[in-house]
Chain A
Amino acid sequence: MAENAILIIIYLLGSVSFILGLKMLSHPESARRGNLVAATGMTLAILGTIFLYINPDTGEHLHNFLWIVGGIIIGSIVGTISARKVQMTAMPQMVSLFNGMGGACAAIISVIEYNHRFAPGSFGMNGTILAGLLIGSVSFSGSMIAFGKLNGNVKDFSLPYHSVFNLILLAVLICLGVYLSVTDTPNMVALGIMALLCLGYGVFFVMPIGGADMPVVISLLNSFTGVAAACAGFIYGNQVMLTGGILVGSAGTILTLLMTKAMNRSLLNVIVGNFGGGGNAATGEGSTTQGTIKEISLNDAAVLLSYSKKVYIVPGYGLAVAQAQHVCHDLEKTLEEKGVDVEYAIHPVAGRMPGHMNVLLAEADVSYDKLKEMEPANEEMPSTDVVLVIGANDVVNPAAKNNPSSPIYGMPIIEVDKAQNVIVMKRSMAAGYAGIENELFYEPKTRMLFGDAKKSLQNLVTEIKQV
């Protein structure tokens, strides 16, 4: 009795710590403490479950401690090492991978509990178990595909009529789920088939979605896993799993919507839109771009930058890939020493995830108040002498404003075309992540500096020091 009461208190503390943790995570000053608060609550909940959990029907404690502790030790070691070692640029993949693990965990629980707790007639409980299986598996296989796409292992691929195909598959899955929950005896073969189809659905769900939309997909799958965890919590009547899962489910959904809003797209559009995929929408028919590209020499660029008053740097994922954030900070310092005012304009979806670019620049010691969000930066564009675009493409593409047939039409952009001069540092003329031509490169005031971002920046810093 006492043990049960203590466990309930622990679960209550756990739930409160999750709420406080999420709350603190949404303010810059308290974010890190918030993460620790949630982690502490999680540790309490895990330890409490291991030692205090009593089965309400049999009154027995848990056993198989060796297996449980062994699994936790293996998971902790592998998890800590991989999370410590991962490059900051590969962060989105890593989040996707860990998310998939949680989804798989929820799906496995459902498989075992279907075998264990199936009760003929209790449609609601059977249905919850199967919902956990469906959502967990979709989250797992979807996250794996998202991971592969961000890592560059998986190419965009879409079946003809993929949205119709996916709808039919989903309908089949729901029918199968209904059958499995109203049937009289648990049918493990049908459950196995359902599990496989669910995994397949996750693959087909994410496959046609273009790489540029991966952040939205990861965030969506993140909230899916939350719901799957809540389903598992429902099975056990476990409060901490319920609150934790549902909190993430709803907070994750809101976060997903905030992201789609930053890209000025609807969630439906992301899911069925086939944006940036192998489809025909990718090129954008109106982009019959004409004109010539002008290159700029390192020397000229150095002179232009040194004699400017106000310079804005617009970093993109290219900067991160080239690991050039530190050199970029050097450039900023060198220019500041010459009396140039340097700031960064960060697009909400620069990099691979919202806020990703801020993390990368923070890693390179760039001062927090030099990072300007898109709107204040846009106001200052007309009074800016030079904009240096480093490895960014779609977020500065004017087609988003003036070409209604472009797939990114309507997305807010950093209006670099309003500045006096634009220097674009780019590896090649290849299109950006969304696969769209960029008219900016053909504008009269734009000049291109081709080459690896890191090398070009290093050379640029040396040149500027000599001016």
Chain B
Amino acid sequence: MDSILSFISVYHEMIFIIILSIFLGIEVISHVPSVLHTPLMSGANAIHGVVIVGSIIVMGEAAPDNYFALTLGFIAVILGTLNVVGGFVVTDRMLELFNNKKKKK
């Protein structure tokens, strides 16, 4: 019990961010038309690619002779970039189709 309480008091700021973000996430997309479900899922998919920031930190803090961390970190950076870049490009391609439609009318 003590450890839980101390955990909360040490990390209270992050816990705040988490709880508020949960409500924000729900609020932000609750009125989305079903037409946009696929692009929205794809866009959200790109946003969680923010995990790449973590892989950059891992990589940047690894000691030059720590090949375990260097190798895994390098793979993580590549995977994270794939998630971010691929995700945004795919989403853009989908939405481009909707936009072209609008211009021609």
A residues with CB within 8 A of B: 14, 18-19, 21-23, 25-29, 31-32, 34-36, 38-39, 42, 45-46, 49-50, 53, 55, 60-65, 67-68, 70-72, 74-76, 78-80, 82-84, 86, 88, 91-92, 94-95, 97-99, 101-102, 104-106, 108-109, 111-113, 115-116, 121-125, 218-219, 222-223, 225-226, 228-230, 232-252, 254-255, 258-259, 262, 348, 353-356, 358-359, 362-363, 365, 367-368, 371, 373
CB of B33 within 8 A of CB of A28, answer yes
CB of A101 within 8 A of CB of B82, answer yes
CB of B56 within 8 A of CB of A108, answer no
With a cutoff of 8 Å between Cβ atoms, the chain B residues found around residue A244 in the complex are: 47-48, 50
What is the CA–CA distance of A79 and B25 in the complex, to the nearest angstrom?
26
What is the CA–CA distance of A77 and B29 in the complex, to the nearest angstrom?
31
CB of A255 within 8 A of CB of B41, answer yes
The 9 A-B pairs of least Cβ separation, nearest first, read: A75-B81, A62-B60, A250-B25, A71-B77, A79-B85, A354-B37, A124-B7, A244-B50, A79-B86
Question: Please, what's the 1-or-0 string for B9-32, where 1 marks a CB less than 8 Å from any CB in chain A?
Answer: 011001001100111111011111
What is the CA–CA distance of A254 and B40 in the complex, to the nearest angstrom?
12
With a cutoff of 8 Å between Cβ atoms, the chain A residues found around residue B11 in the complex are: 124, 234
What is the CA–CA distance of A278 and B34 in the complex, to the nearest angstrom?
30
- In the complex, the number of residue pairs spanning A and B with C-beta atoms less than 8 Å apart equals 382
List B residues 50-102 near A (Cβ within 8 Å): 50-62, 64, 68-70, 72-102
With a cutoff of 8 Å between Cβ atoms, the chain B residues found around residue A101 in the complex are: 79-80, 82-83, 86
A-B contact pairs, 9 of them (CB 8 A): A25-B91, A28-B98, A34-B43, A80-B89, A91-B38, A99-B83, A109-B76, A222-B48, A353-B38
CB of B50 within 8 A of CB of A45, answer yes
Nearest CB of A to B80, in Å? 4
B residues with CB within 8 A of A: 3-4, 7, 10-11, 14, 17-18, 21-26, 28-62, 64, 68-70, 72-102, 104-105
With a cutoff of 8 Å between Cβ atoms, the chain B residues found around residue A356 in the complex are: 38
Pick the contact of A22 from B28, B78, B101 — CB < 8 Å?
A: B28
CB of B46 within 8 A of CB of A39, answer yes
What is the CA–CA distance of A233 and B68 in the complex, to the nearest angstrom?
21
Pick the contact of B91 from A19, A35, A242, A348 — CB < 8 Å?
A: A35
Nearest CB of B to A115, in Å? 7
What is the CA–CA distance of A39 and B53 in the complex, to the nearest angstrom?
14
CB of A248 within 8 A of CB of B64, answer no
What is the CA–CA distance of A236 and B61 in the complex, to the nearest angstrom?
12
State whether A21 and B43 are in contact (beta carbons under 8 Å apart), knowing that A67-B70, A74-B78 are contacts in the complex: yes
With a cutoff of 8 Å between Cβ atoms, the chain A residues found around residue B58 in the complex are: 108-109, 112-113
State whether A108 and B43 are in contact (beta carbons under 8 Å apart), knowing that A91-B94, A250-B22 are contacts in the complex: no
CB of A222 within 8 A of CB of B41, answer yes
What is the CA–CA distance of A450 and B41 in the complex, to the nearest angstrom?
35
Pick the contact of A355 from B17, B31, B35, B46 — CB < 8 Å?
A: B35
What is the CA–CA distance of A229 and B40 in the complex, to the nearest angstrom?
18
CB of A112 within 8 A of CB of B101, answer no
Pick the contact of A68 from B49, B60, B85 — CB < 8 Å?
A: B60
CB of A64 within 8 A of CB of B59, answer yes
With a cutoff of 8 Å between Cβ atoms, the chain B residues found around residue A97 in the complex are: 86
With a cutoff of 8 Å between Cβ atoms, the chain A residues found around residue B57 in the complex are: 49, 53, 62, 236, 238
What is the CA–CA distance of A71 and B39 in the complex, to the nearest angstrom?
27
What is the CA–CA distance of A34 and B99 in the complex, to the nearest angstrom?
13
With a cutoff of 8 Å between Cβ atoms, the chain B residues found around residue A122 in the complex are: 7
Pick the contact of A251 from B4, B26, B77 — CB < 8 Å?
A: B26
Nearest CB of B to A79, in Å? 4
What is the CA–CA distance of A15 and B3 in the complex, to the nearest angstrom?
30
With a cutoff of 8 Å between Cβ atoms, the chain A residues found around residue B48 in the complex are: 99, 102, 222, 225-226, 228-229, 244-245, 248-249
Nearest CB of A to B6, in Å? 8
What is the CA–CA distance of A91 and B42 in the complex, to the nearest angstrom?
9
State whether A353 and B37 are in contact (beta carbons under 8 Å apart), knowing that A91-B94, A242-B14, A247-B24 are contacts in the complex: yes
With a cutoff of 8 Å between Cβ atoms, the chain A residues found around residue B86 in the complex are: 79-80, 82-83, 94, 97-98, 101
